[in-house]
Structure 1
């Protein structure tokens, strides 16, 4: 006869809360201040209503996030867990080298630094995240790699961590659409529901990608991001 570990539910709850914390738009890393090309797409007339905004974000999830940042997080979490700083640095360089515009690069650098500062401010509550990021000596830490460090400290599966990361991205992007199209909150909730249905498949693709198949190639998104850098009237950060 076996006896269930009385601590298992507590560990499970703690890991879930950690992932929810990292996915929260309230995390002070500034993700809410970027539109990732969406505002420029609205300005160009490519996104103009709920349907076009939802299609745009679903395409960005599968063609961009899944093949790049999610794939990096999937590989960075196990590297952090075994203190493989050489592998972590390799993934960090890949993120920096494949940002197609200055806007995208500044975003990942700023959010990475902000997550490092968040971990520093937590002190002991950060459970060693700040110390591990410092030990890796990333200059600068990119957001996917820094977030993977925080996720690695949670007792959660890589897949659950990726689902949390993707949902946090989706929430920020839906809010960007609500403000820039503009749309109502009900439209935003319907868009978020559509994205939530797509996230598991995007995560599974990201987890299956080897290094040679990981990519950041979205030409229209890069063009729009470059236009956004000098867009005259905008709500979101460049």
Structure 2
């Protein structure tokens, strides 16, 4: 019996051509000004994104888009796609999500075709946010929602941990400890998103949002966000 998790392992691996490695989600600015300087501060920062910040919203949008694609509800899918872009609260956050989302759709259509991609094109003709793109592919390939949410969340955390290692905030071993320590929170966030609706969207990670805005004018940068 084939595992439904295998496509997720491919789509959310660093080798899938979406360019996730180029984005720090504002961490670069937070490191520059001293907000992030060791494993505890990074763990707290990422934990807030998972439980109260941008990842929480992304998972709710993912679940909404997934259900719409499963139900063949083009109107609901278009609404989720539009709202996902509207919630990108800085130019770089929008760049981060649409660059990866558009690239995912291109690669997915070419290598992992499904009817859900055609439905997405009919429902929404503009840039596609990353969580919406992965959700549509997951629905189109009959991947269960909960593991899809968990895998997306873990990939988000793993990418930011990797960025933090490259910035010099932490070493690789601490990076693995932080990732492992956030797994329970990721399980909880996925469970919450699975039962949530668009009415549950909201975040309270102001410092992270400011970091994204400030990064736009940071003098020396390794990352695009």
Rounded Cα–Cα distance in structure 1 between residues aligned with 2:209 and 2:33: 14
Q: Retained in 2: the 8 A contact 1:66–1:205? A: no
Over 3 Å counting, the alpha-carbon distance change for 1:231 and 1:197 in structure 2 is same
Q: Is the 8 A contact 2:26 2:215 kept in 1?
A: yes
Task: Count residues in correspondence.
Answer: 225
RMSD value, Cα: 1.6
Structure 1 residue 146 displacement after superposition? 1.0
Q: TM-score, normalised by structure 2?
A: 0.93
User: Is the contact between residue 74 and residue 206 of structure 1 (CA under 8 Å) also seen in structure 2?
Assistant: yes
Aligned to 2:153: 166
1:51 corresponds, among 28, 40, 47, to 40
Q: Distance in 2 between matches of 1:137 and 1:66?
A: 22
Match in the other structure for 1:226: 213
Aligned partners of 1:77 and 1:148 also within 8 Å: yes
Give, in whole Å, the separation in 1 of the partners of 2:96 and 2:116. Answer: 21
Distance 1:211 1:120, change over 3 A: closer
Residue deviations 1:170-205 (CA, integer Å, cap 9, x gap): 110110111113322111111111122321011112
Assess if the C-alpha contact under 8 Å between 1:67 and 1:209 holds in 2.
Answer: no
Show the 5 A alignment for 1:52-91: 52-91=41-80
Q: 1:34 aligns with which of 23, 27, 48?
A: 23
What's the CA shift for 1:130? 4.0
**Runs of 4+ with >6 A deviation:** none
Give me the whole-angstrom Cα distance separating, in 2, the residues matched to 1:134 and 1:234.
35
Q: For the Cα contact (< 8 Å) 2:164–2:170, is it kept in 1? A: yes
- Of the structure 1 ranges 39-48 and 190-199, higher mean CA displacement relative to structure 2 is found in 190-199
SS of residue paired to 2:182:
helix
Alignment gaps of 5+ in structure 1: 1-8
CA contact (8 A) 1:91 1:145 kept: yes
Inter-partner Cα distance in structure 1 for 2:203 and 2:58: 9
Question: Is contact 1:28–1:115 with CA below 8 Å preserved after alignment?
Answer: yes
Residues 135-193 of structure 1: CA distance to partner in whole angstroms, max 9, x if unpaired?
A: 33331111111111111122322111100111111110110111113322111111111
Q: Secondary structure at the match of 2:153?
A: helix
Of 134, 142, 153, which residue of structure 1 is paired with 2:121? 134
Return the offset for 1:217: 4.5
Alpha-carbon contact 1:25-1:171 (below 8 Å) kept = no
Structure 2 residue runs without a partner (length 5+)? none
Give the conservation status (yes or no) of the 8 Å contact 1:92–1:138: no
Deviation track 1:43-102 (CA, whole Å, cap 9, x = no partner) reads 110100111111111111111145310001111111111221110111111111111111
Structure 1 residues 91 and 127 mapped into 2: Cα distance closer, same or farther (>3 Å)?
closer
